[in-house]
Amino acid sequence: MGEDATGVGQPRKRYRTRNWREYDRGLISRGDLTVWISPDLAWHAVKDAGGRGRPREFTDAAIQAVLTLKVLYQLPLRAVQGMAGSLIRLAGLDWRVPHYSTLSRRQRDLVVTIPYRPRRGPLHLVIDSTGLKVLGEGEWKVRKHGADKRRVWRKVHLIIDADSHEVRAVEMTDHRHGDGEIVPGLLAQVPEGERIGVISGDGAYDTRGVYEASTERKAALIVPPRRNGKPWKSRTTGSAERNETLRAIRRLGRRLWKRWSGYHRRSLAETAMSRLKRLGERLAARDPARQIAEVQIRCVILNTFNSLGMPKTVPLV
C-alpha cells in the first residue's frame, strides 16, 4: 500500500502501456546486430601522409562499434574480435578486423559519442550516482563469509533527461569524491544552447557548489535540505531558493513537499542506474581510462535502446 500526502494508506497506482505493439518491436530490435554495426559505418581511417608516426587504421566509430558489442554481450576482447570478424564476413564486406590488442590500446583514449534526441523546451534533468565493482567477490560470498578488504568500486555519476529517459552526462570517480562536487562538470557536458529548466537530486546535492552550478545555468533546483539543515545567509548563492524550500518543508512536512514540488521524478535516475547495472555490475577494464570508456559505451547502449522504442503508459482510474 502506498501513502498519500497526509499519510493515509492508498493503493498503488496501476498503469497500462498504450503502445505495446510498437514497444514490443523495439524490444526485439535491441538484439538486432545491424543496429550496432552497419555497412554505412565509416570503418577505415583516412591516412594522413603528413602526420608523424604510424597512421591509425580504424576510425573511432569502428572501435566504438566493436567495443559496444563487447559490452553489450559481455565478451572478452579476443571473443569480440572473432564476433566482429564473423559479422563482417556475413555482410560480404572487405573490411579488416581490429586486433584485440588494438581494441585494448584504443579504448584508453577513445572519445565516445553518446547519442541523444534533441528536445524542444527547457530540460528537466535528474541526477544521481551509483557504484560499479572492479574487484571483489560476488554477493553470495560476501553474505556467507563477509567482505574481503580488496573490494574496489568506482562511482558513476549520471544526469538523466526526465522526459526522454536518456543519459545526458556521465562522470566516473572513486568513492572519495562527493556527489555535489561533480555536478559542475556534469552540467558542462550539456550544451550551453540547451536551456535547463529544472534539476532534481537527493539530499546529497544540498551544497553551495550545486546551487552555484544550477544558478549559472539559470535552472531551478529541487533538492531537499538535509535533516539538520540550517538557513543560509542571504549573500550565499541560491540562499533564497534553498531557504524557501526549508520553510516549505517545515510548514508542510517533507512528504507533502516532495509531492508538491515534483521531487519524486528524481526516481527516474534510480531506474537508469538499475538499467545500467543490467549490463553488468562489474567493470571489465582494470585501469581508470578504459573504465571511463566502458561506462560511456554503456550509456550509448541505454540511449540506443530508448531510441528503438519506449513504453507510453497511462494510469488506470
Q: Are residues 252 and 103 in the same domain?
A: no
The total domain count for the chain is: 2
Asked whether residue 192 falls in the same domain as residue 165, the answer is yes
Query: Per the domain annotation, does 194 fall within a domain?
Result: yes
Q: Which residue has the cell 527547457?
A: 122
The answer to the question of residue 243 being in a domain is: yes
Q: Where do we find the cell 573490411? A: 95
User: Which residue(s) pair with 10 in the sheet?
Assistant: 2
5 pLDDT more than 50: no
Q: What is the pLDDT of residue 194?
A: 92
Confidence grade of residue 184 (pLDDT, cut at 50, 70, 90): very high
Predicted confidence band at 3 (pLDDT cuts at 50, 70, 90)?
very low
Is residue 100 domain-shared with residue 208, that is, in the same domain? no
Strands 220-222 and 196-200: parallel
Put residue 218 in one of left, alpha, beta given phi > 0 → left and psi -120 to 50 → alpha. Answer: left
Q: Are residues 78 and 134 in the same domain?
A: no
pLDDT value, residue 231 = 86
Report the pLDDT value the prediction gives residue 4, as an integer from 0 to 100.
47
User: Which 8-state DSSP code applies to residue 113?
Assistant: -
Quick one: 200 and 64 in the same domain? no
- Average pLDDT, stretch 156-180? 91
Strand runs labelled E in the chain: 2-3, 9-10, 15-17, 123-135, 152-161, 167-173, 196-200, 220-222, 313-315
**Share of residues in the chain with pLDDT > 70 (%):** 89
| Cβ proximity of 154 and 292 under 8 Å | no
**What pLDDT, on the 0 to 100 scale, is given for residue 217?**
93
Average pLDDT over residues 175-194: 91
Q: What is the pTM of this model?
A: 0.85
98 and 142: one domain? no
Which whole number is the average pLDDT over 81-105? 93
Query: Which of 79, 107, 135 represents a domain boundary (last residue)?
Result: 107
Residue 114, domain member (yes or no): no
Owning domain of residue 74: 23-107
| 50 in a structural domain | yes
**DSSP tag of 35:** G
Q: Which comes out higher in pLDDT, residue 46 or 6?
A: 46
pLDDT of residue 38: 75
* Residues 50, 316: Cα–Cα separation, whole Å: 65
In a domain, 303, yes or no: no
Query: Is pLDDT of 1 > 90?
Result: no
